[in-house]
Amino acid sequence: MTVLPSAPADVLHRTKHTYGLMRDATRMFRTLAARHGDPFLLPTLDETYVVTGDPKHVAAIFAADPDVMDPPSGVVEPLLGNGSVVLARGARHRRKRRVLAPPLHGQRMKAWADVIATAARSAFANVRSGESVELLTRTQRLSLDVIVRAIFGMTDPARIALFHRVVGAVIEGLPAWLLFAPWLQRPMFGVGPWDRYRRAERALLDLLREEIARARATPDEARDDVLALLLAARDEDGAALPDDELLDELRTLVIAGHETTATTLAWALWLLHRNPDALVRLRDELAPLGRSPDPAALATLPWLDAVCDETLRVAPIVPIMARRLARDWELAGAVIPGGTMVCPAVMLTHFDPALYPDPARFDPARFLARRYTPGEFYPYGGGARRCLGASMAGYELKLALGTVLAAHRFAPLGDDSIGNVMNGITTRPSKPLRLRAL
């Protein structure tokens, strides 16, 4: 039987790779792929991963029998909860996707257009000429405003501000080093990092329970938010989502939807202002729509769409799309034992010069000249486990970016060399992304 070569098992190698994954995953993946070929083994402190960026291998993983590809339970469970669709397997996973998909697609998604535009205007409303604008802080506010309004129908400013504080504490309370060090995920007399995270987690779950109770106390016809739709949803047997699963689905929507869209929008604004040709072309496309463009018109703009895709290529928010093998499985002529994590590496595929010539260059025109396959461009994953919120995230990104740029002018500011670092299960800029308001 052909198997992949053994990975170094010593603590030094595993510590070095874990640190490299958190500090600069792109550089580490490129180094290991150049040294060992593709696929390669990535030994970390928690386990050893099989990593690939080859589009053929990525496509094979996404096209595999879903019952072979289990979720990466150990890494994401502390953040999303074990009742989340992200961690469901087999028939349970398929059932949950059928229940959760309708509120996040089609006409339901378009109904939130005004919510997105309003949040975008509000997040940048007080920008003054000459001011240094820290982008991520504002885009985080924008993204969470959309989430709490769309998911919970929330309008009370004090309640929205409370959600901002609590969700921020959860995300900041579970850094990548704690996720990749499960032996530290234990109580330490109430003062350790795990204790702090669990307090933040309990505060968020308490807020979510309050919102569930509030939704149940309000007649269905008076609400059109995602929570109301989820409470009314039934599977093919007529069963509703159990309360514990509903709670974890809500925390998944809040946490995953908040950080990913906020970070991508901040990157899009920053990258555009370091690539003036792309920015001028986008401003020309936006100009006929005025300073307060109709969201429906924004959704039809091809260059705006290409800018969003190129941002997702250059600055992918999730560096690897991990799957745990339920049984032995063959990849690239090698049999990989069941229980192993196989990981398409977005940061390898998206920087493959055979697919994306001069890959470090920000060039939205790529996405007008060519249509990429699911194994070549996959910012939201692929196959049966592709992110349920992908359509909503892309729609929000496009409308928010167009709304902000139609109303404001900025100039580049600060360091041009800003990379991606791990922040929990996602990435974020290694330094603040700033622009100067004009």
Structure tokens at 46: 């928690």
Q: Is the separation of the CB atoms in 297 and 288 below 8 Å?
A: no
DSSP label of 293: -
**What pLDDT score was predicted for residue 9?**
61
Q: Of 336, 343, 354, 420, which Cα lies nearest the Cα of 382?
A: 343
Percent of all residues in the chain with a pLDDT value above 70, rounded to a whole number: 97
> Is the pLDDT confidence value at 255 over 70?
yes
Strand partners, 69: 325
The whole-model pTM stands at 0.92
**What pLDDT score was predicted for residue 2?**
46
Q: CA geometry: angle at 358 spanning 382 and 302, to 5°?
A: 60
Any idea which of 110-124, 171-185, 359-373 has the lowest mean pLDDT? Answer: 171-185
**410 backbone dihedrals φ, ψ, rounded to 5°:** -135, 165
Q: How, if at all, do strands 341-344 and 48-52 pair?
A: parallel
Q: Of 311, 248, 225, 242, which Cα lies nearest the Cα of 85?
A: 248
Residue-wise pLDDT for 398-427, tens only, equals 999 999 999 999 999 987 788 888 777 788
Q: How, if at all, do strands 341-344 and 334-336 pair?
A: unpaired
Residue-wise pLDDT for 43-80, tens only, equals 887 788 899 999 999 999 999 999 999 988 767 787 88
Any idea which of 14-28, 147-161, 279-293 has the lowest mean pLDDT? Answer: 14-28
d(CA 280, CA 284): 6
**Taking the mean position of all CA atoms in its chain, how far away is CA 106?**
20
pLDDT band at 351 (very low <50, low <70, confident <90, very high): very high
**What pLDDT score was predicted for residue 82?**
82
Q: CA geometry: angle at 42 spanning 39 and 47, to 5°?
A: 130
Q: How, if at all, do strands 48-52 and 132-134 pair?
A: unpaired
Any idea which of 126-135, 151-160, 411-420 has the lowest mean pLDDT? Answer: 411-420
Q: Is the separation of the CB atoms in 399 and 120 below 8 Å?
A: yes
Structure tokens at 292: 């307060």
Sheet holding 323-325, edge to edge: 40-43, 48-52, 341-344, 323-325, 69-70
Q: Is the separation of the CB atoms in 391 and 104 below 8 Å?
A: yes
**What pLDDT score was predicted for residue 116?**
94
Residue 206 burial (CB count, 10 A): 11
**Taking the mean position of all CA atoms in its chain, how far away is CA 319?**
10
Residue 202 burial (CB count, 10 A): 12
Mean pLDDT of 73-95: 82
Domains plus CATH for the chain?
Answer: 80-317+363-437 (1.10.630.10)
HSE-up of residue 16 (Cα within 13 Å, Cβ side): 11
Q: Is the separation of the CB atoms in 404 and 282 below 8 Å?
A: no
Structure tokens at 68: 């072979």
